[in-house]
Structure 1
């Protein structure tokens, strides 16, 4: 829908474009990740291109592993300082923390894989030693 040269989206249209549920969009609004949503008569929400871009950014941050509380923290920083510089600095810190956690998980999974393969070899050796078809050969 267009009004005054500006495109507006109904919540269902926005949800479809973003492949997320209308409930998720409303929840992001409730917790303050999506601000300044406009309402028309009857209280129906309408969303702008800016809202669409904001939700794409939220979706990307979620894909990168940021939690909703971390995203809310970034929003709070922006509301106080009104500059992306502080937000981006904190985002780098958060991402570095997530990379460190991923590295730790990779190390743990590598050790687990090694343990499983070692145990598997022991089981195979035991099965071969107990193979009745090899008795008397």
Structure 2
């Protein structure tokens, strides 16, 4: 297995895709849209990733689960990448998460209202059924 100059073990694109449950195309896309660093290549042109980049991939998957867009992930990458300082990235991440919390709250309110409408309509249908049986 290839290593970096600091003897960090590199992980092939195929291995990391399997480990994370992603496709290699997804990882190449993430490189294209600049949410992960371009990977070093072997002499045969195969992509390999550092453990640091693999940690970033796991972080991206968590952000994706939270509903962040590619654009928001790009913004975070830029904020962090400018100085490699978490004190820059974390406040930006908090802002983005606050927006998503508000969106989830709004969706929950709409769903609660929809649920109430469905329950009310169901009750009306039950009443109608019982009145037609009488």
Q: TM-score, normalised by structure 2?
A: 0.91
Residue 57 (1) aligns with residue 80 (2): no
Residue 120 (1) aligns with residue 115 (2): no
| 1:22 shift after superposition | 0.7
Residue 6 (1) aligns with residue 8 (2): yes
**Higher fraction of strand:** 1
For residue 90 of structure 1, the aligned residue among 89, 92, 106 is 92
1:51-102, CA deviations, whole angstroms, 9 ceiling, x for partnerless residues? 2111111111111111111000111112334321111001001101100111
1:3-44, CA deviations, whole angstroms, 9 ceiling, x for partnerless residues? 374211111101011111111011001111111410111221
* Larger CA Rg, structure 1 vs 2: 1
**Cα RMSD after superposing both structures:** 1.4
Q: TM-score, normalised by structure 1?
A: 0.89
Structure 1 gaps of 5+ residues are none
Secondary structure at 1:38 match in 2: coil
Q: Look up the match of 1:42.
A: 44
